[in-house]
Amino acid sequence: MAIFEDEPRKKPKAHEIGQDLSLLSVADLNERIGLLREEIARLEGELQAKGATKSAAEALFRR
């Protein structure tokens, strides 16, 4: 916690891979699962976009 208003506040990490989960509540665990699912969806969307770009490039160079 910042003592003075002009001190930067430390932002807690949402999740760290391999982190000890034993001290987290059920609500905390559910929240983290939701965040991780959103991140997986974002990663899969980027993967699909890159795949579409790659397919378009391959089709262009096959001509």
Domain locations along the chain: 25-63
- In whole angstroms, give the CA distance from residue 5 to residue 24: 29
Q: 11 or 2, which is more confident?
A: 11
How many residues are listed for the chain in this entry?
63
Q: What contacts 24+ positions apart, CB below 8 Å, involve 7-14? A: none
pLDDT of 8 reads 77
Given a cut of 60, whether residue 2 has pLDDT beyond it is no
Q: Which pLDDT tens digit goes with each residue over 6-59?
A: 777 766 667 888 999 999 999 999 999 999 999 999 999 999 999 888 777 777
